[in-house]
Structure 1
Amino acid sequence: MMTRNSSALDVAIVGAGPYGLSLAAHLREQGVEFRIFGEPMGLWKDNMPKNMLLKSCPQFSNIADPEDEFTIKSYCAEQSVPYHNELIPLPLERFVQYGDAFHVRYVPMLERKRLVSVELATTRWRAHFDDGETVEARRLVLAIGLRPFRHLPEQALHLSAEVASHSSDYGPLASLDGKEVVIVGSGASATDLAALIHERGARVTLVMRQNEIRFAGRPRQRSLLERMLTPRAGIGSGWTIAACSAFPELIHALPAAQRLRLANTPALGPAGGAFMHDRVLGKVPVVFGRSLERAEERNGKVELYLNGPSGRQVVAADHVIFATGYKTDIARFDVLPASLVGRMATVECAPQLSSHYETSLPGLHVIGPAAANSFGPVCRFVYGTRYPARHLARYLPRILARRSVIAPKLQPLSETVLQQ
């Protein structure tokens, strides 16, 4: 393949999910020179099952634009489809259509190409793409989402793709028709898949460590006292969650140990969506209070050896789906060479970011879920798109005007601090 070199530009954005699209819309509004690369809403289109419902309320699922005018509510009004801030769940297909409409309206210059490698050349970043083009940029923003960071239990890493998968592998569910399926997990991915597979007529069982399934509460009118005691915010309910929703820059200013506790707060732990309760309970068998001890593949089936307070149990199935979430580890983003990853300051394997979402490698910024250990849990939600987009739309024009790259002052965190 012939390599094509482009002249240096100010900003390159890699990733065209909600975070990348929102940032591009804001930079375009500010007149910043940029290019954006990726498949629009790719993870949402390719790695989530059809007929899924978003767990977040529609009013908190907007991709931020510069004027806050193109909301899901306004999109639904344009399309003449039903909408309610809370009482009508948002189907995945509608959210993807909204994201595509956002792309067409605000980011028509999006280039559908895949990043294959990155290098730092003195004061510029070189991004190499699958069509042979090399793009140089003074600032490189990675809005890479969750796709590189799916987490599988160590006990399952040896299983073949014929008998084991991660919840992010779906997509279409037809390959599971007629099979006996076990899903390991207790969050929204687990409960959504369990309901959808059951409704297709397959036999499915949930296995979880917890002793009960948690579901988000169904939306309802709340009293003034309830609203005062547990305010509803962009990513959940309660005063702590409200602070995390509204003030990620303040979360960034906290000591590292406190930031990490908030990034992984139990208040936002595994839970099914409110509207999945009746589609799972009483319909899908659940094995409670069991952890995975080991897994074995035998005669085209998989056997899970489970352990719990009442002893051991073996569960056999044709296929097991691990709905075990994601764990950010920048070393797993394989377009970054090990030489660069080794120089990057990290917080529990996630990049340690300055207040400008900049890594310790000058000119490299990270936004989206991979920023959660620095800015808190709002980074894991579409609601969080407004913060990096607006901050970087103010910051980047100032720093680019200097025509130099200045490394942020970051101090590596000691093991003592992380263990506090």
Structure 2
Amino acid sequence: MHGLRRTVRRIGACVLLAAMTIWTGAIVGALGWLFSAAMELAIRLIWRELPMRLGLGGIREASMAQWPFWFTLTVTVAGAVALAVNERRDPVTVTPIMGVIARVRKTGAYGDGRVLPYFTSALLPLAFGSAVGPEAGLANVIGSSGTRFGRALHGVAAACLRTVRTGEPLHARDGSKADADLQGLARKVINRCAAVCGIIVFFGLGRLAGAGLALPRLGHIQWNPADAAWAIPAMAEGVAAGALFVGMTRLAKLLGEHFGDHILLRNLFTALALSIVATVLPFMLFSGESSLDVLVRHAAEAGPVMLVAIAVARCIITPLCINAGWRGGQFFPMIFSGVVLGYALGGATGADPVFCAAFSSGALIAMVIRRPLTAAMIMLLVMPVASFPILLVSAYLASMIPLPRAFGGVPARNFPSF
């Protein structure tokens, strides 16, 4: 009878632990989806419906038309003011996704448990056209919400794990070393399992409601042996673009520091630069992932020179936004730039553009983050699976190329780790 009670307690503790984990993950995933839905709604209202009401029309994808300078500048100036007010009111910094992951791994938490400041700080730049990716904002919202709703469950989760281990009734912590170990284990269990549940809920809600991050998929690689001659040029242009991205990141950081406490002036400068670039070239606003398939379809219409100009401008304006007040993610814009460079080379030489894009994009991202395997895995979000060996080779070779110390990037390794 005593053994049966222990078994029942263990089963009950497992059920309770699973229920808490699923509940936490559902909340985190729902908040992440809400962030994506709010971003899409804001962009539609500001950049599509408002121009229609003003008689400007929306984005005409077939002709790659842009908004007039006065409209883009007006919207971005309004965004600069909103960002400055928000930063003065609650100076929460939107951390890149790799920084969020590193902090969670080190401390088991992200932020101070407040969700709304991260939600607002991540949403505003995206809504007003910043050339950054939404993945950083999404990571900040998920990390802060996971900390907020998971922290209250860690003690109960530790008690559940203690019951699973001993079969004793649930009770509060006893302050022993074993209890402290259980607290750490409970935090890891809740955070990791809730993250998995949150991802499922996030994509589930996105499929049901039609909102959420949706990356385009490029077609199959259709290349012949003659295309191999363009592998090194494709990787070289990715390396050059990655070096430009890192160098511009360093310059933008110095520029942001130069403005000091003049937050509004810094944001207005970025708004002006973003407006000018977005008027001269198409596809400069937002992260690029939603318009990548459009640009790919019209690559021949744009021409190689235009495509290279778009990719280079992206490698300049995105680091400026990230480091001068309009913060967000760097991965989606880098994916966009790498693919565009590949299509530019393919259009100029007749080589398979997807083959060229695999070399250029893998090299670009690896030059910036210096993690070949991570770079290759990131590009699989849009590239066909068959391109993975090309992505990995290109990323590995690019990560071995040194950069000047003045760039302030991660130094090259002789044998970079995967």
**TM-score of the alignment, normalized to the shorter chain, above 0.5:** no
Structure with higher Rg: it is: 2
TM-score (norm 2): 0.24
* Structure (1/2) with the larger strand percentage: 1
* Structure (1/2) with the larger helix percentage: 2
TM-score (norm 1): 0.24
